[in-house]
Chain A
Amino acid sequence: MSFRHLDHWAEVPSLVTRLAPPARLLAMVAVALGAALLPMGAWPQMAALLVLVLAFAATARIPAPAFAARLAGPLFLVLLASCAVLVLAPGEPLWALGPIRVTDTGLVRFGSVVGRATPALGAAVVLVSTLRFPELLEALRKLRLPSAVTTALGLSYRLLYTLADEIERLRRAARSRNAGHGAAGRRRTAMGIAAASLVRSYARSERVHRAMLARGYSGALPQLHAQPMDVRSVVVLLAVSAIVLLVVSSAWL
């Protein structure tokens, strides 16, 4: 197993996949930030950012059903969380069911939260679908994220699915022994699995460290496939930033 199930369209030749990873990451951050900076009720600007994201998805050749399916999960969670905004905001009541009242302000805030979250989530879906995890790490390194974090992320990438498989094996073993009766028993079993994984993580980190030292590790992980920041990437990044800036300014001016 690996994160490869996420980046299905990383190998598909397109303008998006030809961009340098830092440019792709920064463009996504620009769209997310731009959406977050929009005022409540800026519907045309929210729609404009969504159109920009959809254009990117089309350029990256991500099929519409796949894009929608990937967007649906996180968007559902946003909708769920936004329900609190819908009923908690004060204002003129539009609809009431007992103590639950939907107000005009609540409706605008609910729409604004969903409208701002959708382009940001869409941009993240495009990024994840077209960027391999090592490329993401390379982009984070180039963007001067502390090496402590990128090194830990790089190593956790190697270990995560090993650990997830191990947890699944331990769960299967516990089930085969009929371990854990009732909620308390199942909880104790889950805690035992977590504790065993934690202890094994420590042991594995010690083994990995020794192996890394044996291979000449000196504090920095080697970088493969470093893609330079070319002119095309810079131009596209500047264009996306300019569009986002224009959209956000038009909402505030």
Chain B
Amino acid sequence: MAHIPDGFLSAPVLVGTAAASAGAVVAATRGRARFAERRAPLLGALTAFVFAVQMLNFPLGAGASAHLLGGVLVAVMVGPWDGILVIFSVVLVQALLFQDGGIAALGANTLNLAVLGAGGGWLVYRWAFILAGRSRQLLAVGIAAFFVAVLTGGAVAAELALSGAVPLTPALVAVGGSHVLVGLSEALITVGILRMVRRARPELLADAPLPSAVTRRWVVGTTAAAVLLAAGSYLASTRPDALEAAVARLGLDRVGVATSLPWADWWPGGPWGRALVGIAAAFGLAWLVFRVAARRDGAL
């Protein structure tokens, strides 16, 4: 259920996802006057390709088959911005002509499939490419295709839960869980296709810029720290830490909080609203850091 039909999402989710998607599509076209002149035929051909190849079933065994989502494949070939435009065009035609995905839910579907699928897919691909190196480019593609499919499933589940259609946990288990299988098939198909393309036309995949040594050290360092944190959290003691112990010993935990931050109650939407603001702030910060790092490497 990567394409959400009309009827499932609530008004705030429809508006929020539409605004985010519109921003991403405008960002993908802004300041790129060269696009229409040189890239339009290629993007038109890729839009037609994604559309046509989505009609093709790839047998997985045991009577099951899958079709390609294509976000990571397109982003690896033409970059994140053009990838967003190609997948947005596909999603738009599917919604308008074939009723595959709702018109009102177009913003949510664009966010899930184009912005996360192609834009997010390219980010994961670059991260994995920097870690794996050029000789393992297809491994990076596979990792990106898998993670992005799971991320898309998670996003669909979160949107359904935010709309009050289903509770978050069952939605994550049902939609997110099924997208783990989708991710495996997406990785298998994307890597298989790109391996054959690389054999026939290696120059189509060869222009991925290599990162500088500094960027590579940063990526390796932050990834190692994240893995250590994730693994270490399982080994952490359940007893209170030094600060909590000191607070308990002094009896401060029994003292009521007299004041709170002035903006604590200002955000609408309760904990969900605060969570969304936090996610948006973290995303904005990460995007800024990425832009600066990528500009230094000449990737953008």
Q: Interface residues, chain A, CB within 8 Å of chain B?
A: 3, 6, 28-29, 32-33, 35-37, 40, 73-74, 77-78, 81-82, 84-85, 88-90, 109, 112-117, 120-121, 123-125, 127-128, 133, 136, 146-149, 151-156, 158-160, 162-164, 167, 183-184, 186-188, 190-199, 201-202, 204-206, 208-209, 212, 218-220
Interface presence of B204 (CB below 8 A): yes
What are 10 A-B pairs at a CB distance below 8 A?
A35-B7, A84-B166, A146-B29, A152-B86, A153-B93, A183-B62, A184-B61, A190-B56, A205-B42, A212-B41
Which residue from A85, A116, A155 sits with its C-beta under 8 Å from B166?
A85
Interface presence of B48 (CB below 8 A): yes
Contact with A along B33-64 (1 / 0, CB 8 A): 10111101111111111011101111111100
A117 to B7, Cβ gap below 8 A?
A: yes
Residues of A within 8 A of B7 (CB): 35-36, 78, 82, 112-117, 120
Interface presence of B85 (CB below 8 A): yes
Interface presence of B180 (CB below 8 A): no
A158 to B166, CA, bound (A): 41
Q: A6-B97, A32-B6 are in contact. Are A149 and B56 (CB under 8 A)?
A: no
Q: Interface residues, chain B, CB within 8 Å of chain A?
A: 1, 5-9, 11, 14, 25-26, 28-29, 32-33, 35-38, 40-49, 51-53, 55-62, 68, 77, 85-86, 88-89, 92-93, 95-100, 102-105, 164-167, 170-171, 174, 188-189, 192-194, 196-197, 200-201, 204
Residues of A within 8 A of B11 (CB): 36-37
Which residue from B26, B59, B105 sits with its C-beta under 8 Å from A146?
B26
Q: A35-B7, A191-B189 are in contact. Are A164 and B55 (CB under 8 A)?
A: yes
B48 to A201, Cβ gap below 8 A?
A: yes
B9 to A36, Cβ gap below 8 A?
A: yes
Q: A32-B102, A183-B60 are in contact. Are A152 and B5 (CB under 8 A)?
A: no
Q: Closest Cβ of chain B: how far from A113's Cβ, in Å?
A: 4
Q: A74-B99, A128-B96, A156-B89 are in contact. Are A208 and B192 (CB under 8 A)?
A: no
Q: Which of A123, A153, A163 has the most CB of B within 10 A?
A: A153
For the A-B complex, the count of residue pairs with Cβ-Cβ distances under 8 Å equals 236
Q: Closest Cβ of chain B: how far from A215's Cβ, in Å?
A: 12
Which residue from A147, A151, A218 sits with its C-beta under 8 Å from B44?
A151
Which residue from A88, A113, A154, A197 sits with its C-beta under 8 Å from B171?
A88
A149 to B29, Cβ gap below 8 A?
A: yes
Apart from A120-B6, A152-B85: 17 A-B pairs, beta carbons within 8 A: A36-B11, A78-B7, A113-B165, A121-B99, A136-B96, A154-B44, A155-B47, A160-B52, A162-B48, A164-B52, A195-B194, A198-B53, A198-B197, A202-B204, A208-B41, A208-B45, A209-B40
A73 to B98, CA, bound (A): 10
B36 to A151, Cβ gap below 8 A?
A: yes
B61 to A191, Cβ gap below 8 A?
A: no
Q: Which of B5, B9, B56, B192 has the most CB of A within 10 A?
A: B5
Q: Closest Cβ of chain B: how far from A131's Cβ, in Å?
A: 9
Residues of A within 8 A of B166 (CB): 84-85, 88-89
A117 to B6, CA, bound (A): 5
A57 to B241, CA, bound (A): 68
Residues of B within 8 A of A160 (CB): 48, 51-52
A191 to B65, CA, bound (A): 13
